[in-house]
Structure 1
Amino acid sequence: MSMNPAAATTETIWADFHRELLAFIRRRVTDPDAAQDLLQDVFVKIHLKLPTLTYADKLTSWVYQITRNRILDYQKAQRGLVELEGDIPDVADPTELNPGFAPCITPFVDQLPAASREALLRTELGALSQKDYAAELGISYSGAKSRVQRAKQQLHQLFTACCRMKVDGCRAAALEAQPRHQCGCTAARSCAS
């Protein structure tokens, strides 16, 4: 490298290393898009950690160590992924899992804050996909997903604070619910088998 390590900035490291690092990553990661993403991740890490570099003469080994660590993290994450074939729905319809149980959650859905209640009623318990819901509200898809997830967590907390569920372990389908204590819950009593 022709760079003076003492004058290293993210820009100079990019100029001197990015082609070599991309080639280094591509030899270990076959997906070209993933390799580009990893290169960007590496340079974010370099930018954030550059002030901690104590020995400027170790710059090259430091840069390559960051790159190796990021590749290893990526490869570990990939080992846990299994590609599934066929059309798999994003979210199972709760009424398909146990048609008699869906009405039991209505009193709890009614207790949710308005935004959470609407998110569940329009998506999980309604007909809209989360993408369509995001477009309808004019928010990002990830924002809509977060809103729905938060609503599901709130619903779960309300329900489990009041009721004990018996769950089918294979499908995670609720089989029955019974009140935990005298919470005044009529939903669990009407849904118990």
Structure 2
Amino acid sequence: MKTEELWLEFSTELLTFIQMRVRNEFDAEDILQDVFRKIHLSIHTLSDESKIQSWMYQITRNAITDYYRTSARRNGIETHFDDEIKLMETEEVSNLNNLVSGWLTCIAQALDEKYREAILLTELGVFTQKQLAERLGISVSGAKSRVQRGREKIKEMLLACCHIERDRLGNVIDYQRKSASCNYNLC
């Protein structure tokens, strides 16, 4: 993939991402230029083009961190930008986790009744699987099966609409809708 194509496809999105983290509009534009310079110089190192968006966002996060470190050094300010960047990234992950969990509630509405009820009461509600079994008058293993099948169906439905990128802890760090005409309403 060529840098020019990436610029056309992602520059506006990345600039918005940077502007949310850097107050000065001109600095944000400079950071974007630096990001694309780094992309251009290291695009040949990317082994899996399907991960290009996540790779570009990682370069962008690193550039923002460098911006704050350089700015602090230049101004002689002693600060803990690493802690602030970690907090910023934690908030971002939390926001993405919340966004995707909201989708799960919407997708659950499209499940067959027996799976929808099992998921809404246990995974998205406060019931244990044992309480679900008692409420429905089925065995505990039957309740566990419904919950498990419901989870699998939600996962299939979600992955049919979106590509979800997660970190090693399972947190959502990036997503991309596969199609605007997804069959399921993601709210």
How high is the TM-score relative to the length of structure 1? 0.43
* Larger of the two Rg values belongs to structure: 1
More helix by share: 2
- Higher relative contact order, structure no. (Cα contacts within 8 Å, ≥ 6 residues apart): 2
